[in-house]
Amino acid sequence: MSFPKLQKKSIYLVRTSGKFLIVSIIIAVLWYVAVAWSVGKTLPLLQAQDSTLATADAMTNAWNGKWAGTLLVIGGVLGILSSWNAFLIGGSRLLYAMGKTHMLPQFLMQTASEI
C-alpha cells in the first residue's frame, strides 16, 4: 500500500476513533442508568437501605434465588480481574515501546530472553 493511501486511512481512523470514543461513553452512561433504574424497580426501598450489595440483592429478588446474586458478584469479580490483566499487559507493552523510542531508559525495553 502506498504512503498516501496509508495517510488517508490513518486520518480516517483518527476521526472515527474520536466518534467511537464518544459513542462508547454515551452507551456506558446509558448502561449504568439502566442498571440503577432496574435495581430501583426490583429492590424495595427498605431493603435497599439495609443492603451492602444492592445490585446483587436486586438480582436475588428478581430471580427468586440467592444463586442469582452470587452469580452477579462472581461475574463482577471476574470482570475486575480481567481489567487488571489488561492493565498489566498494556502497561508492560507501553514501557517496552517507550524504552524502544528512548522516552524512558533503555533497560525497560529488554525482554526476558535478552536479560
| pLDDT at site 19 | 83
| pLDDT at site 61 | 93
Q: What cell numbers appear for 45 in the block? A: 426501598
- DSSP code for 28: H
Q: What is the pLDDT of residues 78-101, one digit of tens each?
A: 999 999 999 999 888 888 888 888
Residue 65 three-state SS: coil
Q: Can you give the residue ranges of every domain in the chain?
A: 62-115
Q: What cell numbers appear for 11 in the block? A: 486520518
| pLDDT at site 1 | 54
